[in-house]
Amino acid sequence: MSKAKYVSLAVIRRLPKYYRYLGELMNSDVDRISSVELGKQIGFTSSQIRQDLSCFGEFGQQGYGYNVADLYHEINCILGLSKQYNVVIIGAGNIGQAVANYHGFNKMGYSIAALFDKNPKVVGINIKDIEIRDIDTLDEYLINNEAHIGVICVPSNNAQDVCDILIRNNIKAIWNFAPIDLSAPDDITIENVHLADSLFILTYLSNTKLIG
Amino acid sequence: MSKAKYVSLAVIRRLPKYYRYLGELMNSDVDRISSVELGKQIGFTSSQIRQDLSCFGEFGQQGYGYNVADLYHEINCILGLSKQYNVVIIGAGNIGQAVANYHGFNKMGYSIAALFDKNPKVVGINIKDIEIRDIDTLDEYLINNEAHIGVICVPSNNAQDVCDILIRNNIKAIWNFAPIDLSAPDDITIENVHLADSLFILTYLSNTKLIG
């Protein structure tokens, strides 16, 4: 695993896909699979699969292929999913509530520890047995409670302020749904989900196909 | 615009970012900007900006830079946002409702035309004045109404069936939130938002930084 930090971002971005497909294979009671067959299902070449996985260690065996459950668990460990993470969500609007309610996050080791909003109409309401707290108490909460991941679901104009509060309270992982690029020091990881950008790309690509 | 179909996907994926930044500049009453200054703000080099934009036509002027409003409107047209799109959302759970309620989609030219779900407990309920319909009526709805974009927000095990219904009713653009890769003919555009994948990547990258 010490190799992991030298792995290219492109490979890392493919890891969850491997993990997803291996999970599906396990659910279908498939015990082992060749890199060729796995490649066919995922849509990668078998050599890409062998190359990607070799970044993290020695998996699979010539003539046998991959043991599905073993590889699934290895990737689970590589991704860091064998640990538990306390997640705080800031912004309990539609997206914040959708993330809080997202089926399966809990099962994957992510525990929604707290939800914050600035709207007095929703503060005090419970989402999944978690009370929505006043955003003014975020700083105090983070001083007194361990949180690993901050999810920013506030509008753009508040997102950087929220990001700054998370950073000064030692949160290193930020999942940002606000349609803005946040500033943060190099030791902070920010992963953006820019929904409008995604919809625009869909629009462009589908229009281009229609013209082309 | 006839050039557009030869543009690389990497360039296309940067377009919404340009659009977003130019929108912010307009909101800040900035009339014009040099490629160097725009690059500083976005985090691209000025030559990348000039190269990206040159894929779509001639923008900006030596010594003057870009007229912000003009470039914003050009990118709006390139992305296809000057048209109106009827959107149907299938799956009115958390994500489906979040998309239906997403602030600003309407302003951007996307009109939520219909919402479908199979849960009898939510069928008949209104979201943003749109009644949730029974998913069994999706086929009939699409035969009788023009829709341009289908948003799949159902669980994985139903997603391909929904995708097939959309395709046979001539929907060419599918925005997929189900954690599965859908099969579709080449003339269909599918844009995935795989939330769990995104969270896993955040987890991996933040852990790697902590170790590294």
Spell out the domains of chain B, with CATH numbers in brackets: 2-79 (1.10.10.10), 85-197 (3.40.50.720)
Nearest CA in chain B to A191: B202
> For all residues of chain B together, what is the average pLDDT?
92
Tens digits of per-residue pLDDT, A99-143?
998 878 888 899 999 999 999 999 999 988 899 999 999 999 999
B157 chain-A contacts, CB cut-off 8 A = none
Query: By mean pLDDT, which of A62-71, A81-90, A185-194, B109-118 is the weakest?
Result: A62-71
| Alpha carbon distances (Å) from B9 to A208, B17, B90, B189, B201 | 12, 14, 27, 13, 21
* pLDDT mean over B9-21: 93
Strand locations in chain B, DSSP E? 32-33, 66-67, 85-90, 110-117, 126-127, 130-134, 149-152, 173-176, 189-192
Q: Do B191 and A202 count as a contact with CB atoms less than 8 A apart?
A: yes
Tens digits of per-residue pLDDT, B41-83?
999 999 999 999 988 888 877 788 899 999 999 999 999 999 9
> For all residues of chain A together, what is the average pLDDT?
92
For residue B64, give how far its alpha carbon lies from the nearest alpha carbon of chain A (Å): 26
Closest by CA position to A14, among listed A36, A37, A45: A45
Question: Which ipTM score applies to this complex?
Answer: 0.94
pLDDT at position A64, please?
Answer: 85
A105 chain-B contacts, CB cut-off 8 A = 196, 199
Q: How is residue A48 written in tokens?
A: 């890409």
* pLDDT mean over A156-160: 95
* pLDDT mean over B27-52: 93
pLDDT exceeds cutoff 50 at B109:
yes
Q: Which residue among A85, A201, A208 places its CB closest to the CB of B5?
A: A208
Q: Give B60-68 contacts, CB < 8 A, sequence gap 24+.
A: B60/B35, B64/B32, B65/B32, B65/B33, B65/B34, B65/B35, B65/B37, B65/B38, B66/B32, B66/B33, B66/B34, B66/B35, B66/B38, B67/B31, B67/B32, B68/B22, B68/B25, B68/B26, B68/B30, B68/B31, B68/B32, B68/B33
Q: Do B205 and A191 count as a contact with CB atoms less than 8 A apart?
A: yes
